[in-house]
Structure 1
Amino acid sequence: MRAWTVLAGSRAPRAAGAIHTDFEKAFIRAGVYSVPDLVELKSEAAIRAAGKLRTEGRDCVMRPCDVCHFLVGK
């Protein structure tokens, strides 16, 4: 697992662009959950089962401790 830092208040496409500029251009959506939820529930599968995985679009503002899985197109 890797971590990239983004400026506070960055929107999801900009956060994806921190990984690779092509990710910002081809951003579709992000699956987002928080580190405290991961600590409490112990796995991403448990987070999904508890309904704490959010699907966010381009307008999503990143918050401290967000964990994101980005879906990008071609």
Structure 2
Amino acid sequence: HTDFERGFIRAEVIHWPDFVRYEHESAAKAAGVLHIEGREYVVQDGDVIHFRFNV
């Protein structure tokens, strides 16, 4: 967990209903429903999150 905390870059967030609707991250991104969030984001019920980090 410390490596993840140190190397965190961003979180790409899609709400579950949007993920089901668009079926893939790239389609959700093209539709504008994928949100880029930082460290202070409070995870919501139903979020699908792709964490970007570098160690």
- Class of the TM-score when normalised by the shorter of the 2 chains: 0.7 to 0.9
Listed as ranges, the gaps of 5+ residues in structure 2 are: none
Q: Work out the percentage of aligned pairs sharing the same amino acid.
A: 46
More strand by share: 2
Listed as ranges, the gaps of 5+ residues in structure 1 are: 1-20
SS in 2 for 1:37: helix
Write the deviation string for residues 23-61 of structure 1: whole angstroms up to 9, x where unpaired.
Answer: 123212111111110111222221011011111011111
Is residue 31 of structure 2 the alignment partner of residue 57 of structure 1?
Answer: no
TM-score (norm 1): 0.64
Q: Count residues with an aligned counterpart.
A: 54
2:54 aligned residue:
73
Which runs of structure 1 show a deviation greater than 6 angstroms over 4 or more consecutive aligned residues?
none
Q: Which one has more relative contact order, counting CA pairs under 8 Å at least 6 apart?
A: 2
